[in-house]
Chains A and B, each alone.
Chain A
Amino acid sequence: MENLVLTQKMLVSVKQSLIDGLTIASGAKSSATYYHGKDEQMKAIQTQIRGLYKLSKELPLIIASQKGATGRFVSEVLLNEFKQTQRGGACNIVNPIDWYDNGLGDKAVLTALNNLGENGLPYVLRLFVDLKNEKVNNERTRKIVLGYIWGQDNLEFYAMKYRNKIADILKHVYGVKKTSILLTIAQKQINIHGANIVGTQKEINIVNDMVLKYFNGDSIRAFKLLLFLFKRDANVIYNETEFPLLSQYKIAQTDITGVQNVPEEVLLGLISSVRHPQYHTMWATELQREATKAMIRKNVKVTSVNQQVRQTKSTAKLGVTKTVQVEKATDYLALYKTGYENGWTAELRSAIEKLAEKKRIDGFFYQNIGVIVDDSISMTGHKAESKNTPRAIADFTAKVLSKSAQNAVVVKTSDVFTDLATSFIELLKKEDEGKPYDAIFILTDGYENAYDGLTNEVIQIWKAETGRVIPTFQISPITSAEMGANVRNLGAGIVTMAINNPAALQPQITARLLEVDTKMWLENQVLALEAAPVKRIKKISVNV
């Protein structure tokens, strides 16, 4: 990589934009919260991204590649990027030779896309659907979409679970005419039970160019998947060895009893159709529905552990006993909410401990930290939010922080009211003189009940009297797209951050630390992008 081309003059505005961008990226989401409407959130995200892009086109992608950037933010960055031409926008940070010719731009897009995929496939599919809605269909976009979808290892399962959505996306990318051609070729090949493609050279070229270039499998398998996605599979045979899932789906179309490898929601979709042969015996009345739901819940084996944890309450309501391997869950919100709402078990606690250990921040900046957790009623959330979400975020973040630092003292507010000031004094009393705090984290929505500003008064007096300079972070679990999440700040000198996941902590802290040496921080990010092992497709590296 060549040196950065960032000028000193630009450095100032880039620095502030980066800080703002990182703050928003780790808090931005599209759903309404206590304080923000959905439209306001979206507007704020889009404005921020447009601003960053205008300043320098690499900035949004660099931020979207950070761990902890929310799915919504990454999605909007990519949508914005795909809307532009590949060479549109100004490269003011990285040398354009690196960005365009040496493929750094491509890597940045793919790293961001992989980052989005870590939030779950639905996020990526939603982005691809947005591309359709925004009528974005340039060559670069097409190749990235096809590479991503056809490159999925578990495409058979996703084809079943997100059938219509994937079909819509492919139809948009291929276009109506080419989709029709592909399906015709597929049908022809399947009908002659072809082991290999026997077609014209033109047909072979089309299939190679549009499918096989991206797909890790033989052509017959690809054709069968295509025909399933586009509902042209009436005469297609899916045998159990090659298609363990789709073969079960075929059975479920006439008989859902005993089906184990089809997702619950897909089975419910099938049986709830009046055209299903078992509709009148299994779904027509309330009683039948309850019994069928219970049967499905009991039988289905392809439900993810996270979903099973989230279903704890409804599973019990359906009268089904199901052993869930909670220690395999990766969704901390699901674990916490199950605990809050259904009672804590030793397994749940242990699963959370293990998950927090797994999520610990490597190379955390601080070693001896004090943590205050607001445990007041308002942390259970507002009606606009999912119940207990802020509380779960705060509790888990405290745990992750404790595991990330060498020494941590955690204090919870002791009453239903938010009395952070008293907790701060309690934290000071518990400080080990041999290991003085090097940072203090206050996890709260910021609404003090004692009187607003009291905590700040205490902190300021303490700092002034002791002369200690300790970074004090207010971490709000009420996330939003607006700057500072419009979260009520405890006071001057306390850095406010809004996060919806402990993973967002590091970039938020980074955002503050990059003030020290913005250029060095940027250089490190670009080097990380350069080293990222990403390709558009797994089989072939494609250059536009």
Chain B
Amino acid sequence: MNTRDFTELLKGCRPVKDSDGNIIVQSIMNMQIVCLTTDAEYSLDNRFANPLTSLTSSNSSYGQISFTNKENKEVILPAQMAIMTKQQAQNHGMVKAGYIPSKASTTYHDAGCVQGSQGGHFRGTSEYRMIPVTMREMLWDAVGKTSGHGNIYPAIDKLGRDTQSDAGSYLDKYFNKYDKKLEQFIAHFERPRNLIGIIILIDGEIVAVDKFPSFTYAEQVWDIMIRDCYGALAIISELKHKSNMNEFTQTYEDLKKSHRESIVDLLEKTMKRTKEKVTADVHEKIQELLELTFDATLDTEGQITGSRMPKSYVLKTDGYIGQVITENEFNHLVSVVKRDRFDPNALRDLNELRKKARRQDKFSL
């Protein structure tokens, strides 16, 4: 086991900012998205093939998925894809991301069924969906567990409760219920050019971070990630009747007390202040993550290994879990989520204590 600092995992990346230097934060209800970009040289656009069109998948027993890469390029499998097929077969899901060399095949035995009592095996399909982000934590905890096919059932059950979709052990029930809403959800967010990653916040706390191998890859998976993966967060927020914060109005009321300008100037000033405040809040939250250090465990189940090939590590630390596909210290794909039970305030207290410890003088007489 070795360690990975959060700063190292996202090296080369930076938040997308507006012309005034504010971090651009896109919001809906209590959910916010910060897009990350990088310099063009760190985006490996020509190296990897489209994961949604290059792979065909099959299985011959429950709890496993085989992928065949038909392209002449390597493929980085996004974290936790599901095969939701129209074939008379049991839908399955991956509990992690993966790497598949060009024209190669591999089988993951730690996959899981996502469709209860449905029987049958699928053949040569490319019908992919992404597993909702709120299930990620429980799935990464199941990486390497190859006995049985029930790795994903508990997470579906939790999703069903969180989203009132009565999913039980059927992921398709959730999608069937919310597909239209999820499709509309794509329109809420703009994908900037040269996107390399995303940070997701709920109620002002970072709950997920994704870094992709290239700008092209990010473009290829954007719609499906927003719809299938992050969409669950918005569904849950809506069910909890969460709303945005009316930040502008609050700021306006504060500034109004001492204003001497025209109304238009005051509105402009308020807008500037509002954006600065939103930026500052997000900045602070990202800053806190920079202190994180993850324990990294090599993941070999199903991953094709070779000395010159990317490797997969499962990342764990207090409150966060995830995965990195890395090669010679270059991180192709990073995916991290906050554990559901984790209260970031605990981390804040810990960091505060660390900072105090650093400031203390060494014992002397």
> Which residues of A are in contact with B by a Cβ distance under 8 Å?
34-35, 376-378, 382-383, 414-418, 421-422, 425, 428-429, 445, 447, 449-454, 457-458, 461-462, 465-466, 486, 488
A377 to B26 Cα, complex, angstroms: 14
Q: How distant is A33 from chain B, measured CB to nearest CB, in Å? A: 11
Chain B residues within an 8 Å CB radius of A35: 183-184, 187
Residue pairs across A and B with Cβ atoms less than 8 A apart, 15 shown, are: A378-B187, A383-B223, A415-B18, A415-B24, A416-B192, A422-B271, A425-B268, A447-B188, A450-B25, A451-B25, A451-B244, A452-B244, A454-B274, A457-B246, A461-B252
Complex interface residues of chain B between 223 and 261 (CB less than 8 A to chain A): 223, 244-249, 252
The total of Cβ contacts below 8 Å across the A-B interface reads: 89
B residues within 8 A CB of A454?
Answer: 248, 274
Top 6 nearest A-B pairs by Cβ distance? A451-B27, A449-B26, A457-B248, A428-B264, A377-B190, A451-B244
Are A462 and B267 in contact, with the CB atoms below 8 A? Answer: yes
Q: How far is the CA of A466 from the CA of B275 in the complex (A)?
A: 24
Q: How far is the CA of A458 from the CA of B251 in the complex (A)?
A: 11
B187 and A377: CB pair below 8 A?
Answer: no
Select one of B188, B252, B263 contacting A466, CB under 8 A.
Answer: B263
A503 to B263, CA, bound (A): 36
Measured CA separation A429–B252 after assembly (Å): 18
Return B185 CB to nearest CB of chain A, in Å.
10
Check if B267 sits within 8 Å of A428, measured CB to CB.
yes
Q: For window 65-79 of chain B, which residues contact chain A by CB distance below 8 Å?
A: none
Write the residues of chain B forming the contact surface with A, with a CB cutoff of 8 angstroms: 18-19, 24-29, 32, 183-184, 186-193, 223, 244-249, 252, 263-264, 267-268, 271, 274-275, 278
Residues of B within 8 A of A415 (CB): 18-19, 24
B28/A452 in contact, CB under 8 A: yes
Is A377 within 8 A of B268, CB to CB?
no
| Distance of A414 Cα from B278 Cα, bound (Å) | 19
The smallest C-beta distance from B276 to any residue of chain A, in angstroms, reads 13
Q: Given A378-B190, A428-B267, A429-B264, are A452 and B252 also a contact pair (CB < 8 Å)?
A: no
Q: Are A450 and B186 neighbours in the complex by a CB distance under 8 Å? A: no
Q: Are B263 and A465 in contact (CB under 8 A)?
A: yes
* Cα-based distance from A35 to B263 in the complex (angstroms): 38
- Whether the Cβ atoms of B27 and A450 lie closer than 8 Å is yes
**Closest Cβ neighbor of A449 among chain B residues:** B26
Give chain A nearest CB distance to B241 CB in angstroms: 14
CA distance A406 to B241 in the complex (A): 45
Judge whether A447 and B187 touch: CB under 8 Å. Answer: yes
Residues B192 and A425 in contact, CB atoms below 8 Å apart: no
In the complex, what distance in Å separates the CA atom of A9 from the CA atom of B169? 55
Q: Is the CB of B263 within 8 A of A449?
A: no
Asked if B248 contacts A421 (CB within 8 A), the reply is yes
Looking at B19, B264, B278, the one whose CB has the most chain A CB atoms below 10 A away is B264
In the bound complex, how far is the Cα of B252 from the Cα of A32, in angstroms?
42
Q: A230 CB to closest chain B CB, in angstroms?
A: 43
Q: Closest chain B residue to A376 by CB distance?
A: B190
Which one of B27, B271, B278 lies within 8 Å of A421 (CB-CB)?
A: B271
Whether A452 pairs with B271 at a CB distance below 8 angstroms is no
- What is the distance, in angstroms, from B263's C-beta to the closest C-beta of chain A? 5
Determine if A458 and B27 form an interchain contact, defined as CB atoms under 8 angstroms apart: no
In the complex, what's the smallest C-beta–C-beta distance from A209 to chain B, in angstroms? 53
Which one of A416, A429, A457, A488 contacts B193 once the chains associate, using CB atoms below 8 Å? A416
Q: How far is the CA of A425 from the CA of B271 in the complex (A)?
A: 9
Identify the interface centre among A376, A377, A425, A462: most chain B CB within 10 Å of its CB.
A425
Bound-state Cα–Cα, A454 to B274, Å: 10
Q: Contact at B267–A461, with CB atoms within 8 Å?
A: yes
Given A417-B190, A425-B267, A447-B187; A457-B249 close (CB under 8 Å): yes
A417-B192 in contact (CB<8A): yes
- Can you name the residue of chain B whose Cβ is closest to the Cβ of A417? B190
**Are A416 and B190 in contact, CB atoms less than 8 angstroms apart?**
yes
Instruction: Please give me the residue from chain B that is nearest to A36 by CB atom.
Output: B180
Besides the contacts A425-B267, A451-B25, what 9 more A-B pairs have beta carbons closer than 8 Å? A376-B190, A417-B192, A449-B26, A449-B188, A451-B28, A452-B188, A457-B248, A461-B248, A461-B267
Check A461–B264 contact: CB distance below 8 A.
Answer: no
Query: Are A382 and B186 in contact, CB atoms less than 8 angstroms apart?
Result: yes
Chain B, Cβ-Cβ closest to A415? B18
Residues on the A chain within 8 Å of B24, using CB: 415, 417, 449
- Closest residue of B by beta carbon distance from A486: B184
Q: Which residues of chain B are within 8 angstroms of A376 by Cβ–Cβ distance?
A: 190
